[in-house]
Amino acid sequence: GNSVTQMEGPVTLSEEAFLTINCTYTATGYPSLFWYVQYPGEGLQLLLKATKADDKGSNKGFEATYRKETTSFHLEKGSVQVSDSAVYFCALSRGGSNYKLTFGKGTLLTVNP
Amino acid sequence: DSGVTQTPKHLITATGQRVTLRCSPRSGDLSVYWYQQSLDQGLQFLIQYYNGEERAKGNILERFSAQQFPDLHSELNLSSLELGDSALYFCASSVDTLGGEQYFGPGTRLTVT
């Protein structure tokens, strides 16, 4: 079946540091890939997505590239801010008869001033 | 604001009881998904409805059921509640196209005592 593996946290960085959160997936065919973010006490917000190989999703300074050869979708940001502190979820949607999301376990990011 | 609404925000009830969670999707979205978020299981897909009909089932217990009404709002019914059912329950809606992202509501936090 489909699965998503993302690096375990927590990840603690200083403001303006470089961020990478690794995500790899297992799925047949060509899934769509997503990063969602969950701020404390809130629901999930879509951060970025990519729907085919070599696509780069980007939003709010975050980027991730769909790498089919390595089945990866790593999240990066060049300079994190305190306001980026949240839980980040990598997810995939396989399509077909339904588009349910399969999530990784989430990575807690804390950015200190 | 994702445009997806969920009520109630919090629910505290006793073991053995029954509760109903409500979700209204974004305007124009025909699909509603229910997810459960718990510390031990992470984010798990429960069930999907599309335009009033059940489309897919995930890890949903037999004590749980859902439906989608003609106005497209959905209800998740949880019965014979157990302590282990305490979790955040999210509803999401989408336009069902490959790569179509899901928009999440703020969630209902259920506490079973």
Summarised one tens digit per residue, pLDDT across range B71-89 is 999 999 999 999 999 999 9
Interchain proximity A101–B92, CB inside 8 Å: yes
How far lies B49's CA from each of A10, A93, B57, B87, in Å?
35, 16, 9, 21
N- to C-terminal Cα distance for chain A?
41
Of A5-9, A58-62, A66-70, B98-102, least confident by mean pLDDT is B98-102
**Given its phi and psi angles, is residue B32 left (phi above 0), alpha (psi -120 to 50 degrees) or beta?**
beta
As a whole number, mean pLDDT of residues B88-101 equals 84
CA atoms within 13 A on the CB side of B84: 4
Residues of A in contact with B106 (CB under 8 A): 42-43
Look at residues A91, A112, A99, A94 and name the one whose alpha carbon lies nearest to residue A6: A91
**Given its phi and psi angles, is residue B107 left (phi above 0), alpha (psi -120 to 50 degrees) or beta?**
left
Interchain proximity A43–B2, CB inside 8 Å: yes
Interchain proximity B42–A106, CB inside 8 Å: yes
Look at residues B97, B109, B99 and name the one whose alpha carbon lies nearest to residue B31: B97
Residues of A in contact with B45 (CB under 8 A): 100-102
Q: What percent of chain B has pLDDT over 70?
A: 97
Per-residue pLDDT reduced to its tens digit, A6-44: 988 899 999 999 999 999 999 988 899 999 999 988 899
Closest CA of chain B from A45, distance in Å: 7
Residue A101 · residue B33 · CB < 8 Å? yes
